[in-house]
Homo-oligomer: A and B are copies of this chain.
Amino acid sequence: MFNFGIKKQSEKSRARTGILETKRGNIQTPIFMPVGTLATVKSVSPEELKEAGAQIILGNTYHLYLRPGCEVIEKFAGVHGFMNWDRPILTDSGGFQVFSLAKLSKLSEEGYAFQSHIDGSRHLLTPEKSIEIQRCLNSDIIMCLDQCLHYPAERSEAESALELTTRWAKRCRDARAENNIGGALFGIVQGGMFNDLRQRSLESIVEIGFNGYAVGGLSVGEPKDIMLDVADFTIPKLPEHAPRYVMGVGTPEDLVALAGMGADMFDCVMPTRNARNGQLFTPHGAINICNARFKYDMEPVDAHCTCYTCRHYSRAYLRHLYMARELLAYRLNTLHNLHYYLNLMQQMREAIDQDSFDVFKKDFYAQRIK
């Protein structure tokens, strides 16, 4: 069971709200998916994720395949039972982590041959293998294996990567069909920063046919205006009645800009990773909690925030915990940042539903301290 329906199409922009129906519940879009790399969103419990407003989380196929491995997770019938999370999970294909983390990865038509970054063990990640792993993870939304690119990449590299990505996408579609896998399958548009290649990629991927479509290969080091240009070119050309997912993005500003272009789904380590580095998001921009000016500050991070952290703790206490590298620091910071991101998405959804997204955007930027 997987369905996507548009709830409200803004009349003044391409922004839209929708409902993704999955067997583990409905997801209101546009949505941000917290990253739960190793069957845990770092430092927080499933109950806390729900309290922060998480409707769906992302799991990393590469990491889960290496640790604890499919044979463990299969005993629990998937990641959900293993980690005590009963809402939907989207899993990536593993390709990006092989590309960015694994040792000595070697690309061929067959797939990625690589060595584990943990113990150097050798593995081969093919499109069929990626689908098989995601099946055993019992993922609700499965991503096709794609070829990732560094930035900047030559046109010829981008062209060859998109062609391989298309051939792999077909293999992923076939592997899912042959194995009668229930999770939805999303195709990924590549093409580097070249609009004509993006066009070619999306046409091929859409022709194969998927439950949803992702824009991959963004936020890989390119300047922000290029990222937004490519997204702005690509997103509106994706099928209107399927969910559109911009992978690995981004800052609060990025989310507002991309939702305005009609994107429905996002994921990024930013709220969680930055929390662990002491950076906390507020409507006025981010603050660094280790700053000495917070030493005696009895105010919460954001006086208007309703997260657990802001309801109970001062900046002085958070600074103290962070300076002492106390474990509770990472959790309290993460809870705040996740709440900020998820609440931002909810505000966007409300604004789009009321067709006041333009007003929301204006307010959003007006609040930010340059």
**Which residues does A use to contact B, with CB under 8 Å?**
38-40, 42-46, 67-68, 71-72, 75-76, 82-84, 295-296, 298, 312-314, 316-317, 319-321, 323-324, 326-328, 330-331
A44 closest partner in B (C-beta) = B328
Closest to A319 in B: B68
B298:A75 contact, CB within 8 angstroms: yes
Shortest A229–chain B CB gap in Å is 38
Closest to A327 in B: B43
Choice from B45, B72, B298 contacting A320 with Cβ under 8 Å: B72
A327 B326 Cβ-Cβ under 8 A: no
Question: Are A321 and B75 within 8 A (Cβ)?
Answer: no
Tell me the complex Cα distance, A321–B63, Å. Answer: 12
Tell me the number of copies of this protein: 2
Closest to A66 in B: B324
Bound Cα distance from A225 to B159, whole angstroms: 76
Q: Is the CB of A76 within 8 A of B295?
A: no
List B contacts of A328 (CB < 8 A): 40, 42-45
**In the assembled complex, how far is the CB of residue A358 from the closest CB belonging to chain B, in whole angstroms?**
40
A38/B324 contact (C-beta < 8 A), A313-B84, A316-B68, A316-B82 known: yes
Once the chains are docked, how many angstroms separate the CA of A326 from the CA of B35? 14
Q: Are B321 and A72 in contact (CB under 8 A)?
A: no
Q: What B residues does A330 contact at CB under 8 A?
A: 327
Top 5 nearest A-B pairs by Cβ distance? A43-B327, A68-B320, A84-B312, A40-B328, A38-B324
Complex: A298 Cα to B72 Cα, angstroms: 9
Using Cβ atoms and an 8 Å threshold, which residues of chain B touch A296?
71-72, 75
A106 to B276 Cα, complex, angstroms: 38
Q: How far is the CB of A323 from chain B (nearest CB, A)?
A: 7
A-B contact pairs, 17 of them (CB 8 A): A38-B320, A38-B321, A44-B328, A46-B312, A68-B295, A68-B319, A68-B320, A71-B296, A72-B295, A75-B298, A75-B316, A76-B314, A76-B316, A82-B316, A82-B320, A83-B317, A84-B312
When distances are taken between beta carbons in the complex, the residues of chain B under 8 Å from A320 are 38-39, 67-68, 72, 82
Q: Which residues of B contact A38 (CB under 8 A)?
A: 320-321, 324, 326
Q: Which residues of B contact A321 (CB under 8 A)?
A: 38, 40
Q: How far is the CB of A172 from chain B (nearest CB, A)?
A: 27
Cβ contacts under 8 Å, A327 to chain B? 40, 42-43, 327, 330-331
Determine the distance from Cα of A84 to Cα of B318 in the docked complex, in whole angstroms. Answer: 12
A75 to B294, CA, bound (A): 13
Q: Which residue of B lies closest to A332 (CB)?
A: B45
**Contact residues in B for A82 (Cβ distance below 8 Å):** 314, 316-317, 320
Residues of B within 8 A of A313 (CB): 84
Given contacts A320-B67, A327-B331, contact A298 B40 (CB under 8 A): no
A336 nearest CB across to chain B (Å)? 14
Chain B residues with CB under 8 Å of A326's CB are: 38, 40, 42
For the complex with contacts A75-B296, A76-B317, A327-B331, 16 further pairs of A-B residues with Cβ separation under 8 Å are A38-B320, A40-B326, A43-B328, A44-B328, A45-B328, A67-B324, A68-B295, A72-B295, A72-B316, A72-B320, A76-B314, A76-B316, A84-B312, A84-B313, A327-B330, A331-B331
User: Which of chain B's residues have a CB closer than 8 A to the CB of A295?
Assistant: 68, 72
Complex formed: what's the CA distance from A303 to B316 in Å? 41
A312 to B83, CA, bound (A): 8
